[in-house]
Structure 1
Amino acid sequence: IFINKYPFNGTVAFISLPAVLQQNFPEYDQNQPRIQFQFYGNSLLFKSSRPGQILNTFVVSASVTNASSPITDLSEEIKVTLLHLSPNTLGKE
């Protein structure tokens, strides 16, 4: 895990969380607030029932537990970057 605003070259999934989130995570709290990340590196878990449709990225998610208050109306964006597994050729002929 790296604390960066931009992904390294070759990164397949990247989430950038804004610094403002620290307000929801006090340093001295008995409930230990956490952000948990899930990375699914096997696209077979997300098969489509429609012929010809495939998942073209890995799947990544984040969830927050025990924050001191609901996380809403952030002044900065949460950025998610996913690398295509195969080049996107839609609309290119």
Structure 2
Amino acid sequence: MDRATGWWPAGGSLDSPLSAAEKPRYVCQECASRGRQWVALRQCLTCGHVGCCDSSPGTHATAHHESSGHPVTRSAELGEDWAWCYADELYLQPRP
């Protein structure tokens, strides 16, 4: 388990991820300020920054990781409960 985030590697577990009903509506501020659209959003589990995914033109979630060194991001999409550790290139999922 990543003690900083509470997320476990795929096949592991997590005590209490945010459910889809608890996730607020997010926007990628960098894209919004440029009038761009994004494909999907990711939220930094260190500071809460929200950025667009690597399939989006801005790739702001990865840019945030690269500039901040914050290692773990999670999907900010409704119905998705997973995270990604950039440092270990590891997919993380909540406890079933």
Q: Give the TM interval when normalised to the shorter protein.
A: under 0.3
Structure with greater helix share of residues:
2
Of structures 1 and 2, the larger Rg is shown by: 1
Q: Which has the higher contact order (CA 8 A, sep 6+)?
A: 1
Structure 2 length as normaliser, TM-score?
0.21
Structure 1 length as normaliser, TM-score?
0.21
